[in-house]
């Protein structure tokens, strides 16, 4: 905690302000660092709260600090803005990265890290730990899965560095080079990269409004020994489709007939609030289940949980071991504390409400276009009206200062992609910035309509 050395200079607030300015200039205080509260700093220095208020007010006027009621005072800028300033200019509105907004959770996270800092020893969390993860962390993973109707023995839970590592280890375990996996024809970009890495024959399965089509699964499987069917039955990324129960059972029957494993990526399941049973809950011996905290709590909380049949768990553990060598113990402890305390579950409630409000904004602003929305979600899939093509629309919107993703970004093979885009609603902190980006998209659509009608 910052404790300035003050001189006998009068008035006192001038001395404190001068020290603050010097400590920022000399690097003793760094950008994004939180300063003590008015009350704590006044107590340390033996001055009135009014004196400290005057210091911080003038420091904020000079650009030395930023503050917000309920959050506190920070050096130069808020922590979440530091990464943004190192990448794209802040004037660019990035609606292309599919993340959840995290701004309201600062107090809760401070509480968790504060509790960690008060422990007598933290070094054990920085040591190597067996790949399945510490027992407490695996137990927390089982609790997290239970929220999705998965009853998993903690011994059958592996703690991973996010869902991406869990998927990587799973593909390494259940496939071999040249092997065939079936998945939705559009899927998040990491799937294509992993298929290329493992030299897999990845085949895209056409989907409808209910997700992966059973007849298309059968067609794609012809002439191949299918190792796995990879699918996201709930809030599929990017299309937001959710499979009804009958469809889930049909996909399961097909997998059984093909003697293929189902890899269920349920990264968005927790935030959906859906009560439909997961495919893994329908048949735990046929499925490998993957979920995470990244898409339901915070993007930087890179913890994934992996579970499957007891017979395959040693192989899955070896797969994770080959990618990361050790369990992510420190981040796993943070996730575990959030789950054990109930804060993680509270985050889910908040996210669902926030996602619902943001999708409502999208509906209001993009009211004349086809948007597929079935549940609370931080991304929307928008089919573009003629004569727009996805690539040219994305380029035009980018020229106006907003980033979005075209359909071909999600193609898993060379099949034709629809004229559609994904708009991410959670990657900007403020709703006002989101509204600005959505209005840019709407005005771009309107401009083309006007041209098409020949109106000047």
**Options 3.40.50.720, 1.10.10.10, 3.30.300.20, 3.40.50.300; which CATH number does 12-77 get?**
1.10.10.10
Contact 372, 210 (CB under 8 A): no
Q: Distance between the two ends of the chain, CA-based, in angstroms?
A: 61
Q: How many residues does the chain have?
A: 456
Q: How far apart are CA 151 and CA 146, in angstroms?
A: 6
* Strand partners for 424: 379
Query: 55 is written with which tokens?
Result: 């210091």
For the stretch 259-284, pLDDT in tens is: 999 999 999 999 999 999 999 999 99
What pLDDT, on the 0 to 100 scale, is given for residue 306? 97
Ordered alpha helix ranges (H), 122-235: 135-146, 162-174, 189-197, 214-221
Check the CA dihedral 192-194-197-202 and report its sign. Answer: negative
Q: What is the CB-side half-sphere exposure of residue 170 using CA atoms within 13 A? A: 32
Domain ranges (residues) in the chain: 12-77, 93-105+344-452, 114-341
For the stretch 187-244, pLDDT in tens is: 998 999 999 999 999 999 999 999 999 999 999 999 999 999 999 999 999 999 999 9
Same fold, 12-77 and 93-105+344-452: no
| DSSP state at residue 278 | P
Ordered alpha helix ranges (H), 273-324: 279-282, 313-324
The CATH topology of domain 93-105+344-452 is: 3.90.1150
Q: How far apart are CA 398 and CA 92, in angstroms?
A: 9
Dihedral (Cα; 242, 409, 320, 378), 10-degree rounding: -50
User: Among residues of the chain, what percentage have pLDDT more than 90?
Assistant: 61
114-341, which class in CATH? alpha beta
pLDDT at 53 over 70: yes
DSSP line for 356-400: HHHHHHHHHHTTTSEEE--SS-SEEEEEPPTT--HHHHHHHHHHT
Close Cβ partners of 198 (under 8 Å, ≥ 6 residues apart): 171, 172, 175, 177
For the stretch 328-378, pLDDT in tens is: 999 999 999 999 999 999 999 999 999 999 999 998 999 877 776 667 899
- Phi, then psi, of 341 in degrees rounded to 5: -80, -15
Per the model's pLDDT, the better-predicted residue between 179 and 27 turns out to be 179
């Amino acid at each position: 905690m910052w404790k300035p050395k003050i001189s006998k200079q009068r008035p006192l607030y001038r001395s404190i302000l001068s020290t603050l300015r010097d400590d920022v200039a000399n690097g003793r205080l760094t950008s994004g660092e939180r300063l003590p509260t008015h009350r704590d700093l006044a107590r340390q220095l033996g001055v009135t709260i009014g004196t400290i208020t005057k210091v911080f007010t003038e420091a904020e006027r000079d650009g030395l600090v930023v503050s917000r009621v309920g959050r506190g005072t920070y050096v130069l800028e808020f922590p979440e803005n530091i990464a943004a300033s190192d990448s794209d200019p802040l004037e660019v509105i990035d609606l292309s990265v599919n993340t959840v907004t995290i701004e309201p959770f600062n107090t809760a996270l401070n509480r968790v890290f504060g509790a960690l800092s008060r422990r007598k020893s933290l070094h054990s969390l920085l040591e190597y730990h067996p790949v399945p993860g510490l027992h407490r962390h695996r137990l927390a993973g089982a609790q997290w899965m239970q929220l999705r109707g998965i009853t998993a023995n903690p011994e059958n839970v592996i703690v991973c560095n996010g869902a991406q590592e869990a998927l990587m280890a799973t593909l390494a375990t259940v496939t071999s080079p040249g092997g065939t996996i079936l998945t939705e024809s559009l899927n998040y970009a990491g799937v294509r990269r992993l298929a290329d890495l493992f030299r897999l024959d990845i085949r895209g399965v056409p989907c409808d409004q209910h997700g992966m089509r059973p007849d298309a699964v059968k067609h794609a499987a012809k002439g191949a020994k299918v190792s796995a069917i990879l699918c996201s039955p709930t809030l599929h990324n990017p299309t937001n489709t959710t499979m009804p129960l009958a469809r889930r059972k049909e996909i399961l029957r097909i997998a059984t007939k093909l003697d293929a494993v189902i890899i269920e990526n349920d990264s968005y399941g927790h935030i959906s609030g859906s009560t439909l049973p997961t495919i893994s809950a329908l048949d735990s011996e046929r499925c490998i289940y993957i979920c995470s905290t990244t898409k339901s709590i915070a993007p930087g909380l890179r913890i994934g949980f992996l579970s499957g049949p007891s017979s395959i768990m040693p192989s899955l553990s070896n797969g994770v071991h080959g990618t990361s060598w050790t369990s992510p113990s420190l981040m796993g402890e943070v996730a575990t504390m959030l789950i054990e305390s109930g804060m993680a579950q509270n985050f889910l409630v908040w996210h669902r409400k926030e996602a619902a409000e943001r999708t409502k904004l999208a509906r209001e602003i993009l009211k004349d276009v086809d948007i597929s929305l079935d549940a609370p979600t931080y991304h929307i899939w928008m089919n573009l009206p003629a004569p727009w093509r996805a690539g040219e629309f994305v380029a035009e919107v980018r020229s106006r200062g907003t980033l979005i993703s075209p359909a071909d970004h999600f193609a898993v093979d060379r099949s034709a992609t629809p004229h559609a885009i994904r708009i991410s609603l959670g990657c900007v902190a403020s709703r006002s910035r989101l509204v600005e980006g959505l209005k840019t998209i709407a005005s771009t659509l309107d401009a083309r309509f006007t041209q098409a009608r020949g109106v000047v």
